[in-house]
Amino acid sequence: MIEPTCSQRDAASVIFNLPDYHVIDVIDLPLGGRRVIVQADTLGEGCPDCGVVSERVHAWCRQRVKDLPHAGGVEVVVVKPRLVCAERACPRRTFTQTTSEVPLRARCTSRLRRGLLEAVIDHGRPVAGVAAGFGGAWWTAQKTVNAAVVVLPDVDDLHVRHLGIDEHRYRRVRWFRDPDTSAWRRVEPWMTTLVNTASGQVLGVVDGRNSAAVEG
């Protein structure tokens, strides 16, 4: 039996590597960057109302989504079919194809969201910096993090084998007048970050840098 010894996908699809999609065209943009046009590997999909699978195309539409950076600016356009429901009794006449990577009404791919979460939750990077690095908007990154934090386990219930403690000075020394004694007091703006070194997840941030702050 003759078996293939290489990938059955074309070179562009292998390099772009968006799960369940293949590249159908790539265009150099006049101001720099590229427009990558992709289409799902399969056509048929079940109606969201009745579940009957259909492959009958009513029309084709295009959806622009954000994706992970690939050697510079990349604009991703998803070509997707609007399918006709095969069940005559179903009240829904047509529906748009969706996938796990490009859900309904998505503004970015799922792998971009996974990359944002890994950078923020696992590596403790600030949301604004991560959003800028991925070429996305701050509110998109923050919305993704907010949704993920809701389903994260309570840090008090985690079994942490290796705890990392790091001190950060986040601004210059501040002075303020004590309201009781009227004496000037020096404030050292330190904070301590607690991290699960096995996963990189930030477990908490407390004010100060002494043992009392950490134990409390």
pLDDT score for 4: 58
Q: Give the total number of structural domains in the chain.
A: 3
Any idea which of 55-64, 96-105, 158-167 has the lowest mean pLDDT?
Answer: 158-167
Greatest mean pLDDT among 73-87, 136-150, 167-181, 193-207 lies in 73-87
Range 157-170 average pLDDT:
80
Q: At what angle do helices 138-151 and 110-117 cross, to 10 degrees?
A: 70
Say what the pTM is. Answer: 0.70
Q: Are residues 84 and 15 in the same domain?
A: yes
Q: Are residues 72 and 97 in the same domain?
A: yes
Amino acid at 130: V
Q: Are residues 89 and 142 in the same domain?
A: no
Final residue of a domain: which of 124, 152, 180? 152
Q: 62 with 70: CB under 8 angstroms?
A: no
Assign 3-state DSSP to the chain and report helix, strand, coil percentages, each to 5: 20, 35, 45
Final residue of a domain: which of 77, 107, 137? 107
Range 138-148 average pLDDT:
89
Structural domain span for residue 130:
108-152
Q: Are residues 44 and 78 in the same domain?
A: yes
Whether the predicted pLDDT of 198 surpasses 70: yes
Whether the predicted pLDDT of 59 surpasses 90: yes
Q: 112 with 130: CB under 8 angstroms?
A: no
Final residue of a domain: which of 152, 175, 207? 152
Q: Are residues 134 and 159 in the same domain?
A: no
Q: Are residues 114 and 44 in the same domain?
A: no
Q: For the chain, what is the mean pLDDT?
A: 86
| CA pair distance 137, 160, nearest whole angstrom | 33
Indicate the pLDDT class of residue 99, thresholds 50, 70 and 90.
very high
Residue 60 pairs with which residues in a beta bridge?
81
Enumerate residues 6+ apart whose C-beta is below 8 A from 67.
Answer: 18, 36, 74, 76, 108, 109, 111, 112
Whether the predicted pLDDT of 37 surpasses 70: yes
| CA pair distance 10, 110, nearest whole angstrom | 22
pLDDT score for 3: 61
